[in-house]
Amino acid sequence: MKTKLKRSAAFLLMLVVSFMYANFTLGQEFTSTSSEKGGVGYSMFGRCIIDLGDLNSKLENNGYPAMSENFFSVGGGGHAIINNKWIIGGEGHTLLGEEASHENYKQSITGGYGFFDLGYILFSIKDLRVYPLLGLGGGGLNLKIKEDIASLSLDNILNNPGRGAELTNGGFLMNLGGGIDYLFTFGKDEKSRGGMFLGIRAGYTISTFKGKWTMDGVEISGAPETGLKGPYIRFMIGGGAFDKE
């Protein structure tokens, strides 16, 4: 899964770069013939890989199993298109990791991030668009280790209150990616049109400033520097509307 995801993300980025080369080096520019303004909104889902190497080393050194670096991603976003060229929008995602077990404890890891996006349409014909994208934002990870128990009484809790731990971290992120999308027009008139929006995006998130691990607001010493760094690929489905200027 990890190798396939990296290859898929790399393929889509190479496709966007190829259009960039054709557009700027060969002097060929493909744009829609009419000037429009409008935007789209969409749900997003896919897979991503988060580099947990340092965190997993720390877990394994203390007798805990490593966590999977493969996450399911679900979220949403939207963007406006300005002058048939510029994409301005935002997106947010929840990252769901796989659970792991250690004796009578369960481990789970989740994450999330959001970005302000800026893109530039390199290729546009009818309602097909290809573009690179730069996103700036932030996010974090949440690691839970809790005792796997079937039931509890108040006496159990009072006798052993320390039954688990929840650690979080966060930091500033950068998103380097690209996308291909298409608007299936279902209704239109002389001044406006709208329809269903489908697309795919792939890229790589970079953790530029990594945050510290904390527990109940207290910084944890000796914790590894772990950021939300890694490739992703996501599918988009939604709707949009455009008006002629």
When pLDDT is cut at 50, 70 and 90, the band that residue 124 belongs to is confident
Q: Which residue has the higher pLDDT, 13 or 240?
A: 240
Q: Could you please report the per-residue DSSP string of 24-36?
A: HTS---B--SS-E
What's the pLDDT at 208?
Answer: 78
Q: Give, in degrees to the nearest 5, the angle at Cα 203 between 75 and 212.
A: 70
pLDDT digits (tens, 9 = 90+) for 126-179: 889 999 999 999 999 999 888 776 555 556 555 665 556 788 888 899 999 999
Main-chain phi, psi angles of 139, to 5 degrees? -175, -175
Query: Yes or no: is domain 2-244 CATH 2.40.160.20?
Result: yes
pLDDT digits (tens, 9 = 90+) for 37-84: 889 999 999 999 999 998 899 889 988 899 999 999 999 999 999 988
d(CA 110, CA 93): 11
Contacts of 227 (CB under 8 A, 6+ apart): 51, 171, 173, 207, 210
Mean pLDDT of all residues belonging to the chain? 82
